Chains A and B, each alone.
Chain A
C-alpha cells in the first residue's frame, strides 16, 4: 500500500507577501469549512462548496446541492434565504430568470417556422409563438398559412417588443405573448439596459412622465429583465367598429380591431425637445442603476423631477459627480 507523506521539510508556508485588502475586524464571521458546527446556520455570505447544515429538517432549494450522506452545500456566492423549511442561497449576481407574469422587453433574434426567438437577457432566448400575438383583424381572426408565410411582416429580426411571460418550458426558458394592446412592437424611443436586479417586480411597469421644458409626454416601460424602454408616449390606433380610425389611449377594448399599424416599422416624428427629455430620462435610469437604487415608478418620477430641477439650476448633465448628487437628492426626499 502506498502512503503519501509530506516531504520532511516544513509544510508549505503562505506566500512571503500576500495581498490583503483592508481587513474588516468585526465583519467576517465566516462559518467556513468547519463541518461540525452546522446546526447553527451561517448568517453571512456563503461561497461555493461551503457546507451549510446536516440537519434533516431542511429541504434544499436553489443555489444548493446535497453532499452525501446528508450535508446541504452551497453552490454559489450569495446569501442564505430561509422560507419555512426551504433552505436556498440567492446568488449576488445572476442573469434574469423569467417568472410567469413578468413584463419583459426583448429583441427578436431569430425567425422560425411558426414562432420567433426573443433575446431577453436570460439563460436562453424566449419563444414567441405566432399564436400568441395579436393578428390585425381582431382577436378572433383565424391564423392562416398566409400568416405563417408572411411572418416577417409582423416581427422581423432586430425588432424590439414588450411582452409578458405566459409560461415556462421545462428547461426554464420562457414563452411570451403580446395578447394585449399594451404589449407589442416598440417605436420612437431608446433602450437602456441595466442589471435585472435593479428593476423589481411591481404593480405598474409603465410610467408616464410629463416632459419639462415644453416637451411631450415621455413613456418609460420597465422590463423586469433589466431592459428599459424610454420613448415618446404611445398612441394606439384602433379601428372603430363603425369604420374610421380613431387614435385612442384606452387599451382595454379588445373587441376592437387592431390595425396593421401595430406592426409598422416607421418611427413617428419626434420633436427635439421630446428627444432631449428622453435622453434625460435615460440618464436618470442609468445613474440610478449604477448607484444601486432600484428603478421603480416613484423613484423614477422623483429622479426625473430632480434632474429637471438641476438642469434649470444650470447643472445640465448627469455624468460622474452630478449623477451621484442627483441620487443623493432622490434618496433624501
Chain B
C-alpha cells in the first residue's frame, strides 16, 4: 500500500484519524461475576475479553513455586475474530510467543511474592481483531487483575505505534509516528508495542517486529511512552468509576 494511502498529505489516515488520535476506547470491569476478575476492552474494532482465576491452588504440582505465585496465561483467538473464519491452533508459534510475553510482563507487574504456592490464570479471548491485539490484551489483563483484587505494583498500560517512513532520498522528509494502528496499517508499517508500568514511564514491555531506522525508534518510543501514560489515565478513570458504583451498591445492603 503506498504511503499516501496510509497517511494523506493532509495528515489523515485510512479511517480519518490524525496521527495522534487513539481509537474509541471502551472499558468495562466485572463483566463475568463468576470469575475472580474479568474485563472487556474494545479499541476501535479490536475487542478482547479477559478472565482471571485465582490466586488459587495450582493445577499442576510442577507449577508450584515455593516463594512466589505462578502466572499462567491462556490466549485464544476466536475463529470469527478476523475477516476470514480461521481456526487457530493453540500451538501456533505466534500465539505461544504472545502468551510468553504476556506471562513475563505480568510476572513482574503482579506482586507474586505475596501469594507463594498459588497460581493465577489469565485467560484472554480475542473476540475481534483489528490491530493492536497485544496492547489490548495487556490492558484488558491489567483491568481484570485489578478487578480480582490481585496486588500489583501499578497499572500496566500498553499502546501500539506505527512508523510511516518519510519520502526518502535527497531532501528526505522525516517519517511520522501513527498511534493505535489498525490491521491495514499493522501489515504495512513497522509497529512498536510498548507498555509502561507505574507513573514514571518505565518500559516493561517493548516489541518491535519490522524494520525501522534507529533514529526513528527514539521518536517512536517517546510517543509511545507518552500515550501509554494517557491510556493509563483512561483506565484509572474507569476503574474508579466502577469502584464507586460498587461501593454505592454495597451501601444499600445491610
Contact = CB atoms under 8 A, between A and B. Distances in A.
Mostly, the A contact residues are: loop
Contact of A19 (B26, B30, B240): B26
Interface in A215-237: none
Given A4-B218, A123-B118, A292-B252, A77 B57 contact: no
A79 B179 contact: no
B127 interface: no
B244 A28 contact: yes
B253 A78 contact: no
A106 to B, nearest CB: 12
A49 B152 contact: yes
A166 interface: no
A132 to B, nearest CB: 19
Interface stretch (A5-13, A141-149, A305-313): A5-13
Contact of A15 (B23, B54, B198, B238): B23
Contact of A92 (B36, B247, B252, B253): B247
Given A15-B25, A95-B55, A49 B253 contact: no
Interface string A47-72: 11100000000000001010000000
Interface residues of B, number: 61
Interface residues of A, number: 56
Nearest to A327: B253
B253 A14 contact: no
Given A6-B222, A28-B244, A299-B254, A49 B199 contact: yes
Given A12-B223, A48-B151, A293 B253 contact: yes
Contact of A49 (B19, B148, B198, B227): B198
Interface in B197-254: 198-199, 218-219, 221-223, 226-227, 230, 234, 236, 238-241, 243-244, 246-247, 249-250, 252-254
Given A45-B243, A75-B152, 17 more contacts: A9-B20, A12-B22, A15-B21, A27-B244, A28-B240, A28-B241, A45-B247, A47-B236, A47-B239, A48-B154, A93-B147, A93-B149, A123-B115, A124-B117, A171-B117, A173-B117, A299-B254
20 contacts: A4-B221, A11-B20, A14-B230, A14-B234, A15-B22, A15-B23, A16-B24, A18-B25, A48-B146, A48-B151, A48-B152, A48-B154, A76-B146, A76-B149, A79-B247, A95-B36, A119-B57, A123-B118, A124-B117, A124-B118
